[in-house]
């Protein structure tokens, strides 16, 4: 059976848990990572030398990097639903998945870390971080103006990696003006039981 190693409070693990739930996959999950203190033990490092979560083991096949795991699971179990068979449709979705990791994620973490810092930066510095994140959200907002989900009319693997960021961004103590399409998309995600179970209710 598919095994998922990672604490459920980890945003990157939430991508994999939500994905499995949307696909209706059975799996076993074991707690690894912050608080559990076992992700730097030799047995875990032998699977994932980064000592980060999540890692999956699927019939002996070991994979780490959350977005690579989502791609793998969707291609294996969601061909024609979460993963399209057409190469160009798939490349379009993978582009958004990469953009989540390389563009949105660092800007979100920069703002959130600054807000949570016991010695927070000045308002002007916070405004710069917030603007950088809003600039990225604007790009996604324009995409979501075209259709209800990132890559079309229904949920696909393109949406999955955004789960924890859009959820946690809605909980930051900041003004979230505009971005109406991002907000409507988040409301749409929150209507999905699998999203609520694995992301919204965990935080």
Ligand X SMILES: N[C@@H](CCC(=O)N[C@@H](CS)C(=O)NCC(=O)O)C(=O)O
Give the residues lining the site for ligand X (CB under 6 A). 10-12, 33-34, 39, 52-53, 65-67
Q: Which is nearer to ligand X, 55 or 141 (CB)?
A: 55
Which residue lies nearer to ligand X by CB, 128 or 172? 172
CB 179, min distance to ligand X, A? 24
Query: Minimum CB separation from ligand X for residue 79, in Å?
Result: 23
Q: How far is the CB of 11 from ligand X (least distance, A)?
A: 5
Residue closer to ligand X by CB (options 64, 137) is 64
Strand partners, 56: 4, 63
What does the block give as tokens for 149?
Answer: 């989900």
Closest residue to ligand X, based on beta-carbon distance: 33
Closest to ligand X by CB, 4 or 53: 53
Tell the smallest beta-carbon distance from residue 66 to ligand X (Å): 3
Beta bridge partners of 57: 3, 62
């Amino acid at each position: 059976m598919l095994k998922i190693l990672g604490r459920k409070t980890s945003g990157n693990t939430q991508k994999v848990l939500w994905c499995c739930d949307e696909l209706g996959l059975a799996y076993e999950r074991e707690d690894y990572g912050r608080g559990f203190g076992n992700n730097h033990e030799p047995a875990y490092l032998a699977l994932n030398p980064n000592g980060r979560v999540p890692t999956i083991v699927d019939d002996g096949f070991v994979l780490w990097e959350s977005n690579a795991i989502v791609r793998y699971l969707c291609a294996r179990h969601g061909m024609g639903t979460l993963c399209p068979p057409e190469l160009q449709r798939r490349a379009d979705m993978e582009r958004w998945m990469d953009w989540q990791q390389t563009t949105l994620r660092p800007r979100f973490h920069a703002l959130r870390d600054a807000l949570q810092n016991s010695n927070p930066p000045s308002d002007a510095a916070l405004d710069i971080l917030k603007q950088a994140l809003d600039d990225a959200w604007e790009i996604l907002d324009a995409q979501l103006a075209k259709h209800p989900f990132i890559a079309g009319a229904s949920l696909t693997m393109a949406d999955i990696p955004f789960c924890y960021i859009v959820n946690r961004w809605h909980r930051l103590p900041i003004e979230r003006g505009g971005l109406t399409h991002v907000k409507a998309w988040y409301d749409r995600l929150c209507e999905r039981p699998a999203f609520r179970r694995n992301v919204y209710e965990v935080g």
